[in-house]
Amino acid sequence: MKKFFSKAYFYIVLLFLYLPILTLVIFSFNSAKSRGRWGGFSTVWYQRLFHNSSMMDALVTTVIVALLAAVISTVIGTISAIALHNSSEKFRKTMLNITYIPMMNSDIVTGVSLMMLFTFLRFRLGFTTLLISHITFCIPYVILSVLPKLYGINRSVYEAALDLGATPLTAYSKIIIPDIMPGIISGFLMSLTLSIDDFVISFFNTGAGVQNISILVYSSKTGVNPENYALSSLMFAAVIILLLVMNLRSNHDQRRNVK
């Protein structure tokens, strides 16, 4: 009986989490514009989506900013995590406490602070400031994803490579980086997700003519329309495919290691 209730509770939680998304996907194929009735199955909103130039421009901006922010923040965050791992304990604790601040801060505090900094430095708000702001709030998440992996590596292998004549750069690239790669990938995916999902920081640090999906939906005078349902459904499908690919790769690597 206890096992039955635990499973029932688990499925209820899943239903609570994914029923709204399932509803969104279903209504993206609704021929009627109204959310209150079903007008029949249709792909008209997907067709209109790809012919909506403003939405396509916002989607391209979102993807480009997310990919660039994820790549750059992953590189900076990984190097920073390695530097912190090799530093003294006192310095590492101090820097980690500083790293926690952007994560604990409200998004609006970070967004307004960055906007004031860009204004003070006389940066013109636009694509560059949007990208810099996304990189800034993604870096701490990468550091905290990579650092635990560094604590678990076997440094004796790295030191043996140095004794055998390898340079520090070669030893890191051949030994340390492969060991912490799961943390690096996790940091990259987290940065990618945070950048796509962000609205508040983007709202304060973008300029005229540059907007991502979240800003476009917010500024829409007609409110949320079925084209947004279609776009959200495609983004959800892309995330599911990405997760499946990552899981398949992880299972393949585990089987290869066992062999």
What does the pLDDT look like over 164-197, one tens digit per residue?
Answer: 777 878 888 888 888 888 889 888 988 988 898 8
Give residue 68's pLDDT.
95
**Looking at residue 129, what is its pLDDT?**
93
Instruction: Name the phi and psi angles at 41, rounded to 5.
Output: -75, 135
Contacts 24+ apart (CB under 8 A), 234-242: 234/46, 234/49, 235/196, 236/21, 236/24, 236/25, 239/193, 242/189
- Who has greater pLDDT, 137 or 33? 137
Structure tokens belonging to residue 21: 């998304």
Write the pLDDT tens digit of every residue in 40-90: 888 888 888 888 888 888 889 999 999 999 999 999 999 999 888 888 888
Whole-number pLDDT of residue 77: 93
What distance in Å separates the CA atoms of residue 79 and residue 73, rounded to the nearest whole number?
10
Evaluate if pTM is beyond 0.95.
Answer: no
The band of 236, judged by pLDDT with boundaries at 50, 70 and 90, is: confident
**pLDDT tens digits, one per residue of 214-231:** 888 887 765 667 888 888
Amino acid making up residue 150: L
Burial (Cβ within 10 Å: 0-12, 13-18, ≥19) of residue 214: middle
Output the average pLDDT for the chain.
84
Instruction: State residue 169's pLDDT score.
Output: 81
Between 65 and 99, the more confident residue is 65
**What is the rounded CA–CA span in Å between residue 206 and residue 131?**
9
d(Cα 196, Cα 63) in Å, to the nearest integer? 7
CB-CB neighbours of 191 under 10 Å: 27
CATH topology of domain 53-211: MetI-like fold (1.10.3720)
Instruction: Give start-end residues of each CATH 1.10.3720.10 domain in the chain.
Output: 53-211
Examine the pLDDT at 105 and tell me if it is beyond 90.
no
